[in-house]
Amino acid sequence: MAALSQLLAHLYTMTLVFFTILILELVIFIRSITDAIYDSGRDKNRPITTKQYLKLIDEKNPVTWFKNTTMTTSTCAVCLCTFEEGEEVRELIKCNHIFHKDCLDTWLQQDSATCPLCRSKVLPEEIVMKFRQHRNGQQTEYEGSDEELIFLLSALHGNYMRRFL
């Protein structure tokens, strides 16, 4: 009889340990799934930084060096300067318009991502939207820290005043 109760106690402990491990495994499994979902969602809505944005422009419209003999355009429509032999230029793949690399990159960051001459789209709309999100985000972050600074200053000021009152 004693042996049986010992066996039952042993079985009970074993079952307990088994279920504890099972629950732990389950928790880890569920967490990995929710993490994966969260990550993919975050990736989808994550704003595009300036660096990533310029890289996307660069991938689609590579930089070349201006050659008088092969290129038909002679002036950059952004700065209105004449191209010089060997200057870094970017040719837009869709419309073949040529601009200085720096002029075009600045233009594309300020304006909507369209060709300064013919307004054809350089990047897909959703990429431009995400880049704007990033820029707006930077602005709100700045405003936030400004408010914090004002709060901190007023708090310090309050303390300072209290000492004298």
Interacting residues toward Zn ion by CB under 5 A: 76, 78-79, 95, 97, 100, 103, 115, 117-118
Residues 6+ apart with CB under 8 A from 94: 115, 120, 121, 122
Q: In degrees, to the nearest 5, what angle opens at C-alpha 155 toward C-alphas 152 and 157? A: 110
Smaller CB separation from Zn ion, 22 or 79 = 79
Structure token digits, residue 118: 């013919």
Q: How far is the CB of 55 from Zn ion (least distance, A)?
A: 21
CA 35 to chain CA mean position, Å:
19
Smaller CB separation from Zn ion, 48 or 98 = 98
Q: How far is the CB of 52 from Zn ion (least distance, A)?
A: 23
Q: In degrees, to the nearest 5, what angle opens at C-alpha 117 toward C-alphas 92 and 58? A: 25
Q: How far is the CB of 127 from Zn ion (least distance, A)?
A: 18
Smaller CB separation from Zn ion, 57 or 103 = 103
